[in-house]
Amino acid sequence: MARVDLDAEAEGLRRNVLTTTVDRMLAWARSSSVWPVQFGLACCAIEMIATTTSKFDIARFGMEAFRASPRQSDLMIVAGRVSQKMAPVLRHIYEQMLEPKWVIAMGDCASCGGVYNNYALVQGVDKVVPVDVYVAGCPPRPEALLYGLMKLQEKIREQGKLGTLRRAASVRVG
């Protein structure tokens, strides 16, 4: 019987085979192709569009597919001020998204009400939907939004390591 060189075998396996958990695989897949829903409200939406264009290129993160339908998207970037009239619509769109879903509050108005503090605006979109990442700025530069998106990707991958992905997916919202 031929002798098998166990060390060389182990080395070969380590070089050619990647072992991981299913959660981490899922997290890697989910974070690499987050599809946002088109939810540009005001000025921040213009900077969001600028992020998708060639100078800042959101496509290198796999996020250039802004879906018009919330049923096909994972991420809602609330870009702009949320008025009292728009808040129920925002919630409705959020509820139409399928799990797992994330929310980025882009800009000061979505994070905390921004420059405005009056009867017409909801002071921060986290009063309506749960927010994962807040991106400050008025409007935030496209680089700032990209940094926020990268933080979100980190968060998704962390959820994979902690094993909270599928548990989060089973929580009912609303």
Partner 1 sequence: MAREADLSPVQAFLQERLGEGVLEVHRFRGDATVLVQPDRLLEALSAVKEDPWRFEMLTDLTAWDRYPTEPRFEVVYHLLSLSRRERLRLKTRVPSSDPVLPTAIPLFAGANWFEREVWDLFGIRFAGHPDLTRILLPDDWEGHPLRRDYPLTEEPVEFRGYTPKVPSQTIPHVPPHRREDP
Partner 2 sequence: MIQRETLTINMGPQHPSTHGVLRLVLELEGEVVVSCRPVIGYLHTGIEKEMEHRTYHQNITLVDRIEYLSSYHEEFAYCLAVEKLLGIEVPKRAQYIRVILAELNRISSHLVWLGTSALDLNVTSLLMYCFRDREEILELSEMVSGQRMMPGYFRIGGVQQDLPEEFFPRVRRFLDEFPRRLDEYEVLLTDNLVWRQRNEGVAVLRREDALRYGVTGPVLRASGVPYDVRKAFPYSSYEDFEFDIPVGEHGDAYDRYRVRMEEMRQARRIVLQALDRLPDGPVLVEDRKVALPPRRELVRSMEAVIHQFKLVSEGIHPPKGEVYAAVESPRGEKGYYLVSDGSNRPVRVRVRSPSFSNLQALPVMVQGGMLADVVVAIASIDIVLGDVDR
By the criterion CB under 8 A, which residues form the site for partner 2?
A: 37-43, 45-47, 49-50, 53-55, 68, 70, 80-81, 83-86, 89, 93, 115-121, 138-139, 141
Return the residue of 40, 80, 107, 113 that touches partner 1, per CB under 8 A.
113
Q: How far is the CB of 115 from partner 1 (least distance, A)?
A: 9
Q: Of 60-68, 73-81, 119-127, 163-171, which segment contacts partner 1 by CB under 8 A?
A: 119-127
Q: List CB contacts of 159: < 8 A, sequence separation 6 or more.
A: 23, 27, 165, 168
Q: How far is the CB of 130 from partner 2 (least distance, A)?
A: 19
Nearer to partner 2, 16 or 54 (CB): 54
Return the residue of 19, 54, 117, 170 that touches partner 1, per CB under 8 A.
117
Look up residue 84 and give its two tokens.
């009292």
Q: How far is the CB of 92 from partner 1 (least distance, A)?
A: 14
Which does residue 40 touch among partner 2, partner 1, none (CB within 5 to 8 A, set by kind)? partner 2
DSSP assignment string, 80-145: S--BTTTHHHHHHHHHHSPSS-EEEEESHHHHH-TT--STTB-S-GGGTS--SEEE-SSSPPHHHH
- Residue in the block written with tokens 């380590």: 14
Of 138, 126, 148, 122, the closest CA to residue 56 belongs to 148
**Which residues bind to partner 1, rule: CB under 8 A?**
84-85, 113, 117-120, 123
